[in-house]
Amino acid sequence: MTETLRITDLHVSVEGKPILHGVNLKMTRGETHALMGPNGSGKSTLGMAIMGHPKYEVTQGAITLNDANILEMAPNERARAGLFMAFQRPVAIPGVKMADFLRHATTNVRNPERKEGEDLIPMREFRKELRSRMEQLSIDPEFARRYVNDGFSGGEMKRAEILQLAMLQPKFAILDETDSGLDADAVRLASLSIADIGGADMGLLIITHHDKLLEHNRPDYTHVMLGGRIVETGNGVELANELHDHGYDRIRGAYPDAAANNEAMEKPEQTESAS
Amino acid sequence: MTGIAATAGFNSAAFDAFLQNRAEPDWLQKMRQDSWDAFCQMDWPARNSEEWQRTDIRLFKLDRFALPASPPVATDLPASLLSAGVELAGEAVSLDSYGVRSHLANKWREKGVLFGPLDELVHQHGDLVRKHLFARAANPHYDKFAALHGACWSGGHLLYVPRNVVVDEPLLSMSALSDGGVDLGHTLVILEEGAEATLLSEKTSREESAGGLHCGALEVLQGAGSRLRFVHLQNWGKGVWHFAHQKAILERNASLQWTAAALGSRLSKVNQHVDLAGPGAECDVNGVMFTEGKQHLSYHTQQRHMAPGCRSNFLYKSALQGASRTVWRGMIRVDKDAQQTNGYQRNDNLLLSDSCRADSIPGLQIEADDVRCTHGSTSGRVDEELIFYACCRGYTRQEAIRAIVIGFFQQVFDRITIESVREALGQAIARRVQDYE
């Protein structure tokens, strides 16, 4: 069966402020999509809305996963239905060990009907699987005993996200700037890792500013977001390469309304960072 | 079922009968009488005193309770949480101020270790007990509760470890209460020079909703270079009034790891003090409080540096549910001679409901000039971003909050070096996390 994540005319507001103005995107499992766009264009907002962050209010439109209405599901139900997002800025959960966190997460995602308090995956079995995944990703075994993202370097956080992706094996995964803050070697490793753990069997939505992360995950489609809409979609990686080499000037020129929207979105961020 | 109501109230007639029944050494009887006189003369703590202004005891009525007059029938005592699956060196259990059973393995007995009910051991080891009981750590004239305890203490346990004896298995001291019962236990821990021990202390009621009164004291006296690991779990029923004075005195290079977990009681008022009396002494004191309903737990801690080169580290964490309230008032005192002091205190509170309240009052009193003392305090709710992150990994909201709360306490548990205790406390906490929304 073909599995499909479909986003139709999606409008999203944050604290009453509209960010997305009608996003349309259809992904089939097994495809890789690159999502590019300047800062403030709404890429992360799309990810948050798909996962169901309570602050991101869907005011119009639909998200469906194989005909199931995702918008009616709580975030944990979405995760159990097979959706995943690697966070751009993962939060730390002090006192909760990576291994314990993942054991619980993996149990829930693999047994979507699991009720609270029911048994977790047996410890021994889980540890074995986790260890082999960590080995595959060249992650220090000590990682499992550390607290979730607590005191992690930027690179460690991103690797932890990939480890979670590997364990949870979602149907569709959004990778929100999994390459940001990493040096060239680390990005290459991340790109390889995503391919290694079966990225090709998932539907991948890779949000990125660069083309390196795409090296081992060749996109079937590249989308450009501007001012809260997907304004252009191209086959393969060509569009991604063009944007990486030449920036967004052409896109801005071609879609002046969206560009104006984008500028309005970007401005508050700039004043904030300037102050 | 309870054997405590034979004599009504805490009046002079009852006290005289209590004293007569006990056939104790003269010095002890005199000590009790002095304390009783002090108790009769003192008023209950004033509401506007610094210590009591946040802790309202107007609903506490001492005459609803009575002196322990006859041994209770000890049936179906609650199981110990802290020592499940642990090989113990010894165990002493009391119920409603009466010793129920005690045991110490022969190998430790042969080395001169004493462990059992204080009221029994005082008969055979009067000189030892007399030297330490209410001598330095506990002060029966501190306030009316302390005086009541000084006069009427009964139950509780003595642990004595002779010089250079290392007891490498934990000892369990357990005090249980029947509904409406009274526990006036006094615990005396004496570690001679170079001695080592691990003491697990547990206070529990037969039923979770049970009422009762605990008016107790703990004295810990550590000789030079001694090491004590002490875990204290207050898990009384939800109707118990808990008043306690606890103090440890550490001589040169002694070290103390003290973990106090408070889950039970209706109202608790605890003074927990550590005196670093000899150079190079050090202590790590960890507190965990988890409250719900209308519980009120108040901890007044003091880490007093009296000698140079000592280190103290106090970490208290509370999570509050319902309309419960915690008060933490911490003080680092550094005497004039205590140079090169390293003192730290911290209190973090996690507010899990709209109507709970945590008061956090750190304080410093420093007379020396070459010291390093720091303190910190935080209070806040569970971060929604953490909940969302965990939910994106398949956790229900409830599971996410539970994990975050347990993680919040983990920093304290990480400092407990006994695995079974770590697990038992973690599980006890996990059971307490209620449903939200």
pLDDT tens, B256-299? Answer: 999 999 999 999 999 999 999 999 999 999 999 999 999 999 99
d(CA A275, CA A228): 25
Please report residues of B whose CB lies closer than 8 A to that of A104.
394-395, 399, 403
If phi > 0 it is left, if psi is from -120 to 50 it is alpha, else beta; for residue A198 that is left
Q: Is A119 inside a domain boundary?
A: no
Answer whether B323's CB lies under 8 Å from B293's CB: yes
Q: Residue B8 has what pLDDT?
A: 62
Could you tell me if B390 and B250 lie in one domain? Answer: no
Please report which confidence band the pLDDT of residue A56 belongs to, taking 50, 70 and 90 as the band edges: very high
Interface check for B417 against chain A (CB to CB < 8 A): the answer is no
Strands B282-291 vs B311-320: parallel, antiparallel or unpaired: parallel
B390 closest CB neighbour out of A52, A93, A106: A93
Report the percent of chain B where pLDDT is more than 70: 97
CATH number, position A226: 3.40.50.300
Minimum-distance CB partner of B394 among A54, A80, A147: A80
Give the count of beta carbons closer than 10 Å to the beta carbon of residue B106: 7
Contact of A132 with chain B, judged by CB distance below 8 Å, is answered with no
- Distance (Å, whole) CA A172 – CA A27: 9
pLDDT average, residue stretch A117-128? 94
- Residue B45's pLDDT band, with cuts at 50, 70 and 90, is very high
Q: Which of A226, A221, A218 is nearest to A256 (CA)?
A: A226
Residue of B nearest to A94 (CA): B407
- Cβ pairs A/B, distance under 8 A: 86
- Two tokens at A216? 């081992």
CA A181 to chain CA centroid, nearest Å = 16
Tell me, yes or no, whether B358 lies in a domain: no
CB A204 within 8 A of CB A33: yes
**Interval B168-214: pLDDT, tens:** 999 999 999 999 999 999 999 999 999 999 999 999 999 989 999 99
Average pLDDT, chain A: 92
Question: B341 near B308, Cβ under 8 Å?
Answer: yes
Instruction: Find the domain containing B435 and state its range.
Output: 383-437
* Domain contains B328: no
Q: Is residue B202 part of a domain?
A: yes
User: Token pair of B424, please?
Assistant: 């038992």
Neighbours of B243 (CB within 10 A): 25
Domain span holding position A198 = 4-89+170-274
Cβ-defined contact of A109 to B397 (cutoff 8 Å):
no
Is residue B324 included in any domain, yes or no? no
Flag whether A96 is in a domain: no
In a domain, residue A156? The reply is no
pLDDT for res B75: 72
Q: For every residue of B369-385, which 3-state class applies, written as one string? A: CCEEEEEEEEEEECCHH
Q: Which residue has the higher pLDDT, B436 or A255?
A: A255
**Min distance A96 CA to chain B CA atoms (Å):** 5
* Burial class (CB within 10 angstroms; exposed 0-12, middle 13-18, buried 19+) of A1: exposed
Q: Determine which of A17-26, A220-229, B410-419 has the lowest per-residue pLDDT on average.
A: B410-419
| DSSP secondary structure, B101-169, as one string | EEEE-HHHHTTT-EEEEHHHHHHHSHHHHHHHTTTSS--TTSSHHHHHHHHH-BS-EEEEE-TT-B--S
Residues present in chain B in total: 437
pLDDT band at A267 (very low <50, low <70, confident <90, very high): low
Q: Which pLDDT value is given to residue A271?
A: 42
pLDDT digits (tens, 9 = 90+) for A158-196: 999 999 999 999 999 999 999 888 888 889 988 999 998
Give the bridge partners for B406, in sequence order.
none
Q: Which of B388, B395, B409 lies closest to A108 in CB terms? A: B395
pLDDT surpasses 50 at B5: no
What tokens were used for B296? 């009120």
Token pair belonging to A259: 């560009």
Helix (H, G, I), strand (E, B) or coil at B86: coil
Closest partner residue to A75 (CB to CB) among B391, B407, B411 is: B391
Question: Given CB atoms, is A117 within the 8 Å cutoff of chain B?
Answer: no
Tell me which of B244, B278, B312 is where a domain ends. B278
Residue A101: pLDDT above 50? yes
Whether the per-residue pLDDT at B307 is higher than 50: the answer is yes
Q: Is residue A11 in a domain? A: yes
Tokens of B324: 């419960």
Whether the per-residue pLDDT at A275 is higher than 50: the answer is no
Burial of B95 (0-12, 13-18, 19+ CB in 10 A): buried
- Nearby residues of A44 by Cβ (< 8 Å), 6 or more positions away: A88, A176, A177, A207
**Structure confidence at residue B67 (pLDDT):** 85
Domain-embedded: residue B373: no
Rounded to an integer, what distance in angstroms lies between the CA atom of residue B260 and that of residue B266? 17
Q: Is residue B402 part of a domain?
A: yes
The pLDDT value recorded for residue A274 is: 37
User: What is the tens place of the pLDDT at every residue in B381-409?
Assistant: 999 999 999 999 999 999 999 899 999 99
Confidence tier at B434 by pLDDT (50, 70, 90)? low
Tens-place pLDDT, residues A18-35 = 999 999 999 999 999 999
In a domain, residue A163? The reply is no
Using the beta-carbon criterion (under 8 Å), do B393 and A79 form an inter-chain contact? Answer: yes
Mutate to test the interface with B, among A44, A84, A104 (most CBs of B within 10 A): A104
Mean pLDDT lowest among A202-206, B115-119, B330-334, B419-423:
B419-423
pLDDT for res B431:
80
Q: Is B435 on the interface with A (CB under 8 A)?
A: no
Q: How far apart are CA B101 and CA B91, in angstroms?
A: 8
Contact A75 B406 (CB under 8 A): no
B392/A75 CB distance under 8 A: yes
* Helix/strand number for chain B, H first, E second: 9, 20
The reply to whether A95 falls in a domain is no
**Partner residue opposite A94 with nearest CB, options B384, B400, B411:** B411
Question: Could you tell me if B41 and B148 are in contact, meaning their C-beta atoms sit under 8 angstroms apart?
Answer: no
Residue B390: inside a domain: yes
B120 within domain boundaries: yes
How many domains would you assign to chain A? 1
Lowest mean pLDDT, pick from A145-154, B4-13, B34-43, B243-252: B4-13
The answer to whether residue A131 sits within a structural domain is no
pLDDT at A86 over 90: yes
CA distance A268 to B206: 61
Q: What is the mean pLDDT of residues A193-218?
A: 89
Contact between B434 and B292 (Cβ < 8 Å): yes
Domain tally, chain B: 2
Vertex B72 angle, CA B174 and B186, to 5°: 40
Pairing of strands B181-183, B296-305: unpaired
**End-of-domain residue from the set B243, B278, B313:** B278
The answer to which of A241-255, B96-110, B340-354 has the lowest mean pLDDT is A241-255
What gap in Å lies between CA A252 and CA B16, rounded to an integer? Answer: 95
Last residue of a domain, one of B232, B256, B278: B278
Contact state of B388 with A54 under an 8 Å Cβ cutoff: yes
Which pLDDT belongs to residue A196? 87
